Structures are given as C-alpha cells and as structure tokens.
Amino acid sequence: MTRFTIGRLIEMIPVLWIIVTFVFFLVRLAPGGPFDADRVVSEDVLQNLNAYYHLDWPLYRQYLDYMARLVQGDLGPSFKNANWSVNELIALGFPVSLELGLYALAIALSLGLLSGVLAALRPNTLLDYIPMSFATLGICVPTFVLGPLFLLVFALHLHWAPVAGWEGVSHKILPSLTLGIVYAAYIARLTRGGMMEILTQDFIRTARAKGLSEARVVLRHALRGGIRPVVSFLGPAAAGLLSGSFVVETIFHVPGLGRFFVQSAFNRDYTMIMGTVLFYAVLILLFNLLVDIMLAWLDPRIRGAS
C-alpha cells in the first residue's frame, strides 16, 4: 500500500503540469483581458498596469515566470482584487466551500445509503418503489433547477429559511440540501444494486443459516461488500460536489471559493482562474487517491494486486 500510494502521488505531478499548462494558455488566448471591463483609462495607465503584472511580456516568458512562482507555492496576485493574493483569497473562501461540501456529503450518504439498503432488503415493494422513484427524479433534476425551486417554496412562500447568506444554521440548510440531494440519488441507486448483488452470495446464506440476526448479516457482512460501488463513486462525487458548489454558491450567495471562481471567469482574472483550477485539481486527485485506498481496504484482492 505504501508503494502504491507513493506511485500515485508521483503520477499526480505530470497530470497537474498538463492542467496548469493547458489552462494557462487557454485563458490568455481567449478574447478580452483582465482590465477591459474597467472604466476607460488612458493608454499610459493601461500600459503601466500591464507592465506591473508582466502582461506585456512574451507569452512564453509569462509562462516560465508563473511556473517558477508556482514551484515556490506562490499563485500570484489577483488582478481584480486589489492588495489580495490568490493564496489569501483561496484561504478565505475555501473553508466555506469545504463546510458546504461536507454538509452536502453527509446528507447524500445518509439519505442514499439508507434508501438503497431498505430498497435492496425489500425489493419490488413500496420500500423499493418510493425511494427509487425519488432517486430517479433526483438524478434528472440538476442543482441549478433544484436550488431556485427550494428558494421559491421554502424561502419566499413558506418563509422557513433565509433567501441568501451563510451566517447561521438556517442559512446553511437549503444550500446543503440542494447540493446533497442530487448525489443522494446516485448513491441510493448504487447502494441498491450493490446490496442486491451481495445478498444473493453464498456467504450471506451461510451467515443466515448459522442463525445470525438479520441486522448483523446486513451491517457486518453484506454492507461492506455492497457499498463498494458507492466508495468508487465517492471520487467523482467529491469532484461534483466541489464543481457543483459554484452554482449553489451563486444561487444562495454563499461566500465560498466558487464565488471567486465565477467572478474571476467573468473578469478575466488570470491568476485567480489558474489558482482555483489548480487547487481544485489537487483536491480531486487526492480524493481519488483516498477512494483507491479505501477500496483496497475493503477488497483484499486489490491489496494483493497493488
């Protein structure tokens, strides 16, 4: 496992280099610049701004300068947020995005695992049809539709929750539900399929023949193998929770990192775009590595192969 983990960490280096290189040239080749949306300034002022941020350098030199800073952990200054570096803005916004993602993940796992297990234990009954119908509906409805619906019903009409913000518990319920319910639907379907396959295995029949209680058979023997598809899904789910938070944070005006990313895309803030993309890429790769380690712990065959 140690050799496997170290190997995967080394493989992350060229992947991150490709991501950085691609995004660097892509954002600079796109039409517009970071100061085009500002009020009309003289040509001398614009030249001074470009010179201050080294935007008047040749493109290859800008790339080499950025990579040199990146190796030292410096993501550069933000072009649109005066006196703020990208590192500082990420440190300011990411804790909020992380909190939102953890709440959404807890909701997704709780609802998804419970619904999937109940549906697998009682197939072709109401305990199967009702949660799986909602799961199918949850898969079909994206967050940018579900969020405004929640706002319309629970905030504007029923007044059960605030419309926007991230100050107290009441502000966090609707954003967390919006982001978590969609992934709860996927987890419910995967749990049902995995559990139904495991419950037909010989070792489950043996455990029941020995007189073990149904709760012990399900929780100790069946669940460990049945949630393997869910564990495999957690890597893409983590990526989806992070990228999906862009939309949710914008809808509910949550002051997270997604807000900075959206603003940087509109404002052509090159360094902020680069910094957030790289930061999220590192997180997603680490999530995928963690998922592989969890799968190896759940399945001895994977440990042997590694």
**Could you tell me the residue ranges of all domains in the chain?**
93-305
> For residue 85, which phi and psi values (nearest 5 degrees)?
-95, 160
pLDDT at position 284 over 60: yes
The gap from C-alpha 197 to its chain's centroid, in whole angstroms, comes to: 29
Q: What is the pLDDT of residues 17-28, one digit of tens each?
A: 999 999 999 988
Q: Token pair of 214, please?
A: 């149904």
Q: What is the pLDDT of residues 262-274, one digit of tens each?
A: 888 888 888 999 9
- Whether 222 and 195 have beta carbons less than 8 Å apart is answered as yes
Q: Which residue matches tokens 């300034």?
A: 41
Helix axes 257-267, 270-298, angle to 10 degrees: 140
Q: Which residue matches tokens 């898969």?
A: 139
CATH of span 93-305: 1.10.3720.10
Q: What is the pLDDT of residues 81-133, one digit of tens each?
A: 878 899 999 999 889 988 998 999 999 999 999 999 999 888 888 988 998 99
pLDDT at res. 300: 58
pLDDT at res. 1: 66
Rounded-to-integer distance, Cα 279 and Cα 75, Å = 10
pLDDT at res. 306: 52
> For residue 255, which phi and psi values (nearest 5 degrees)?
-80, 60
Instruction: List the single range of 29-33, 77-81, 184-188, 228-232 with lowest mean pLDDT.
Output: 29-33
**What residue type is 284 in one-letter code?**
I
pLDDT at position 184 over 60: yes
What spatial distance separates the first Cα and last Cα of the chain, rounded to whole Å? 7
The single-letter DSSP state of residue 39 is P
